[in-house]
Structure 1
Amino acid sequence: MRDAFRAAFGSVPDGVWSAPGRVNLIGEHTDYNGGLAMPFGIDRRTRVAVRLRDDARIRVATDFVEEGIAFGVIESTLDTASEASGWSRYLLGAAHVLRRELGVEGSGFEALVSSDVPVGVGVSSSAALESATIVALDELWGTGLDRREMVRLGQLVENEVVGAPTGTLDQSAVLLAERDHAVLLDFPADTAEQVPLGFEAAQLEILVIDSLVRHDHATGGYGERRRECERAAEIAGVSTLREINAADVDAWADRMPAHVHRRMRHVVTDTERARRVAELVRQGRAREIGPILTDGHASQRDDFENSVPAIDAAVDAAVAAGALGARMTGGGFGGAAIALVDVTEASRIARETADAVVAAGHVRPVIFSVHPSEGARRDP
């Protein structure tokens, strides 16, 4: 990557920083509803090579090429970073938010982005880029941030610069991840517990099944679902849906529009699913979480209505092929499913799943395995 940086900018970087994509094991759309979630970092990373400048200019480039994104230097300044568009807004937006929130002057820089985190799949390529940038600038600008503050700043990039009304799940996973662990996030308590998954010992791995149906949280149905959840909480007279007991959900069915009630039911039950999955893996019973994952998908498909036919087909096919469980991961409206599988069966399940999805009339998905890995860092 250092050679590519030299080719782009004619000099060597001060360092290379990276952050993983993430998979959310269970607990979807629970972050902004005050629930629980269990994401983990994956062994696919976004890397940012950075060199400070002695002026206010910012020059960024990427060697990632897809859907019109091509190599070429994008010019900006510290004062105009918030006006960025396209992929560079995640990186430039991070610089803008750090300066504004921390009251630091900062300095200009050059940055080259390289990534093997798929874009638009639901494994949080955006948070990976934001977080790698924040970790890099924190060190280079000497701001001394702790990881929880970095999470908050990353959310501001998404909400204010990108315009995506997301919570803090993605940034928390990307910044706090540890190998073979998930991060159990309790959003109202503002806690993040490292929970050992035990996948390695149990000879399990996660397959990511990319449907190739793309989404955009800034323009898609994510915001609509968030407003529906807020409406459910308003009708129920609570500040967040976390305050609704699972046993009481059905009692609200006649007091709000049917689709709003379904949104409530998904959020409340998915928080309970996250709690149960955490209990099981703590007890060394990782092989028993599969049916809970599959139940979570049914909840997203039927109650939250944020799945798509290609992902439904992938989940059904994976379970039929022998996966212990499967569900859509991420915000939905496209993206990917995950399947919990035996390591020795992964290749066969992936092949049979892809074949079945095609037979159901969808584009052949791209399937790859991921392993719970460490969070954002400075690379050697």
Structure 2
Amino acid sequence: MGSARADGVIRTPDPVDFDALVARFRSLYDAEPDGVWAAPGRVNIIGEHTDYNGGFVLPIALAQHTVAAVRRRNDTVVRIASASINDGAVVTLDLTDVTEGGDYGWAAYIVGVGWSAGQRDLPVTGLDIALDSNVPVGAGLSSSAALSCVTARAWSDLLDWQLDNETVADLGRDAENKIAGAPTGLMDQLASVCGQESHAMQIDTRAVTITQLRFDLPAAGLSLLAIDSHTEHSHADGEYAERRRSSQEAALRLGVRELRDVPLESLATTLDKLPPLLRRRARHVVTDSARVEQTAAILLAGDDLRRIGPLLNDSHASMRDDYEITAPSVDALQEAAVAAGAHGARMTGGGFGGCVIALVDQQDAAAVADACVAAAARGGFPTPTVFEAVASGGAARIR
């Protein structure tokens, strides 16, 4: 690993040392890898829990990646070792034994990709894999999607599956949904596979279409801070699944296919048909999807990006009050960031912890970061770590 860049409490995660990863692969498997692949985590700028409701989302791919040195095997065995899990010990699984409902631990995000490929009648062989990552885990930055997508990209390239990006992403989602048991939508995987430098992706999750929108914050004198609360969350837990069930029940009671189909202009009268809990859940989904479209319009018009700030604040309030997925630690960070001069801030990711993002003028970044650390200390919360989130490219072979 290299040295982290630091500016006060703003610390860029250490980069992955590719040479060290390849050397570890050789040591583990007594062979050369066929190549090295990388897939990024993501920050969702706006539009939370809208993806599984057919709505819009607006993520960026991060500069932080999960990196995999990979070699194709001639059997159905998958061997995996991660620098940060199980003390680097090799996990060995046979793809013929992988089924829905099986318990494969963190390896589910990898072997689930091979399982999904087999369900699509793609030719599948085993792999030897060595992994490293600098995507923060449990921070709502899609470290799991980076893991499944680097695997999907490598497998597809090595076996010449000739898949489009959307299908590569869908292999990753299958691994998460059906083998790992995490009920995520498709946003995380699409962002990891399809990211472009200095662009945000407006994703229509129903049509599975992506509009790349220029998102060059440095050119506007801005930074996007990712403030990790170190309050861990999990997509596989019951709270996330409950929100998904509530959304589906609300749509059913309203007689629409998905909450995406509820018109914003008649929202108040439409929601009167629902009991209070479902009313709050539906209001968040419909309004946050609309906020994505408003943000995208600002980007498309080339307007002052500071105008996004109030939309970020409104999104956080909606997640806190209507969808009820924030946590006291992230609420404190969001409030501190805005009080210290951020144009807007909100929690990003599945919720119940994770990261807050804050849109700040570059010259104010250090002061906002300091204020967030101080607010966490006052509240008795874990000390947050802060880094700059930079829109970067998607999953690719790098060696």
Relative to the length of structure 2, the TM-score reads 0.92
Q: State the shift of 1:84 in Å.
A: 5.2
List alignment gaps of at least 5 residues for structure 2. Answer: 1-20
Distance 1:84 1:143 in 2: 27
Provide the residue aligned with 1:353 in structure 2: 372
Q: Deviations over 1:249-279 (max 9, x none)?
A: 2113432110100011001110111011111
Contact 2:152 2:169 (8 Å CA) reproduced:
no
Letter matched to residue 376 of structure 2: V
Distance 1:30 1:162 in 2: 21
Q: Equivalent of 2:108, from 86, 89, 92? A: 89
1:20 and 2:40 are equivalent in the alignment: yes
| 36-45 or 203-212, larger mean C-alpha shift | 203-212
Quick one: structure 1 residues 252 and 59, their matched pair in 2 at CA, closer, same or farther if it must change by over 3 Å? Answer: same
Distance 1:176 1:343 in 2: 27
- In the TM superposition, 1:1-380 aligns within 5 A as 1-65=21-85, 69-82=86-99, 83=102, 85-101=104-120, 103-284=121-302, 285-380=304-399
Q: Find runs of 4+ consecutive structure 1 residues off by over 6 angstroms.
A: none
Distance 2:247 2:95 in 1: 37
Contact 2:111 2:175 (8 Å CA) reproduced:
no
Contact 1:208 1:368 (8 Å CA) reproduced:
yes
Query: Aligned pairs, how many?
Result: 376
| 285-294 or 73-82, larger mean C-alpha shift | 73-82
Distance 1:269 1:254 in 2: 16
Q: State the shift of 1:104 in Å.
A: 3.0
Letter matched to residue 329 of structure 2: A
Provide the residue aligned with 2:17 in structure 1: none
Letter matched to residue 4 of structure 1: R
Contact 1:28 1:330 (8 Å CA) reproduced:
yes
Distance 1:85 1:355 in 2: 40
Q: Deviations over 1:55-74 (max 9, x none)?
A: 22221101014xxx421000
Distance 2:73 2:146 in 1: 24
| 340-349 or 191-200, larger mean C-alpha shift | 340-349
Distance 2:77 2:111 in 1: 11
Provide the residue aligned with 2:3 in structure 1: none
Distance 1:213 1:220 in 2: 17
Task: Report sequence identity in percent.
Answer: 42
Letter matched to residue 216 of structure 1: S
Q: State the shift of 1:48 in Å.
A: 0.8
Letter matched to residue 305 of structure 1: E
Letter matched to residue 29 of structure 1: H
SS in structure 2 of the partner of residue 234 of structure 1: helix
Q: State the shift of 1:344 in Å.
A: 2.3
SS in structure 2 of the partner of residue 246 of structure 1: coil
Q: State the shift of 1:192 in Å.
A: 0.6
Relative to the length of structure 1, the TM-score reads 0.96
Quick one: structure 1 residues 254 and 106, their matched pair in 2 at CA, closer, same or farther if it must change by over 3 Å? Answer: closer
SS in structure 1 of the partner of residue 322 of structure 2: helix
Contact 2:250 2:274 (8 Å CA) reproduced:
yes
Distance 1:319 1:214 in 2: 23
Contact 1:252 1:261 (8 Å CA) reproduced:
no
